[in-house]
Amino acid sequence: MSGIEAEGLSKRFGTLTAVDRLSFEVKPGEIFGLLGPNGSGKTTTVRLLSCLIAPSEGSARVAGFDIGREPLKVREAVGVLTENPGIYDRLSAVENMEFFAEAYGLRDRAERDSRIRELLEFFDLWDRRGERVGTFSKGMKQKLAIAKAVVHRPEVLFLDEPSSGLDPKAAKDIRDLMEGMSRQERHTIVLCTHNLEEAERLCSRVMIIRKGAAIATGSVEDLRRKLHGAPELEVVLDEVDDRLLRATAKLEGVKAVNASAKGTLVYDLDDPEARTPDVVRSLVQAGGRVRSVNILRPSLEDAYLELTEGEST
């Protein structure tokens, strides 16, 4: 299984540079998040890497093939869900799946039929398989478009906002599908999303782009570290009094302590993981009744908002 290597990838539309010298690597089996404001070039990047459009400059290897020299091989090896679902309204769900399965070279009829049934059942579409897709709801069409994108078990899968328009159960189904494909079957997945919680949960690494250029690449943990704020320790107690504050304010590693909401102490520690046990022990010894202990970390959303601050695209 192979992933993606992009080198100086650029795409211009007239005078507009939609993708600006992107270089990055996606490792085999990884779920890689592509994040960025509206119009920042995510969909264009996916279209370049899946050979739906040609780059103005730069090169990339996808699933072991060169996008410039072997576009047909790339197209066979990848699955794509773009903003335009590309399914046929006049065909039924099952006819759509058969059409794409055949186009992707799934020749064995029994195998093809069982794969189609497996996917339509997975997405709760099996009972509606004979109906024309034109009559489907938005979310049903989206689920069918995802089923279509994975029918041939592609080595590299591009999902451009897969959970947009989906209900919570369907959104979870898609996440489970992605995790299964990545962990068990070692497929490589590029996920474009505005849902930062979803990205945080699924992606081993993310790249944030703005105006077509990468502004940050790394694990969610790496991006958090780029932020100024370190994690804090929050301890919720039945009651807070001066005695508890005094018992912990001078402990080693405690830089500051504040009583925030009623019954809550927030500690600024040099190393929250290492210092938490001592803080909690001291609170208990001083008579504190501890209800909960949390380490508060900046979220991917905090990191994203800080990194993309100031400009809309």
Ligand X SMILES: Nc1ncnc2c1ncn2[C@@H]1O[C@H](COP(=O)(O)OP(=O)(O)OP(=O)(O)O)[C@@H](O)[C@H]1O
Q: Does 13 bind ligand X (CB under 6 A)?
A: yes
Binding mask 63-82 for ligand X (x = CB under 6 A): --------------------
Q: Residue 256: phi, psi to the nearest 5?
A: -160, 155
Q: Does 248 bind ligand X (CB under 6 A)?
A: no
Residues forming the site for Mg ion (CB under 5 A): 42-43
Q: Does 223 bind ligand X (CB under 6 A)?
A: no
CB closer to ligand X out of 38 and 184: 38
Residue type, 127: D
Q: Are strands 290-296 and 254-259 parallel, antiparallel or unpaired?
A: unpaired
Which residue of the chain is nearest Mg ion when measured via CB? 43
The angle formed by the CA atoms of residues 228, 229 and 231, to the nearest 5 degrees, is 140
> Considering only CA atoms, which of 257, 255, 258, 262 is closest in space to residue 237?
262
> Considering only CA atoms, which of 119, 125, 132 is closest in space to residue 92?
132
Q: Does 119 bind ligand X (CB under 6 A)?
A: no
CB closer to Mg ion out of 117 and 194: 194
CB closer to ligand X out of 34 and 62: 34
Min CB(61)–ligand X separation in Å: 21
Residues from 27 through 56 that contact ligand X (CB under 6 A): 36, 38-44
Count of residues interacting with ligand X (CB under 6 A) = 11
Min CB(214)–ligand X separation in Å: 13
Q: Does 85 bind ligand X (CB under 6 A)?
A: no
Q: Does 165 bind ligand X (CB under 6 A)?
A: no
**Are the beta carbons of 187 and 1 closer than 8 angstroms?**
yes
Q: Point out which residues bind ligand X (CB under 6 A).
A: 13, 16, 18, 36, 38-44
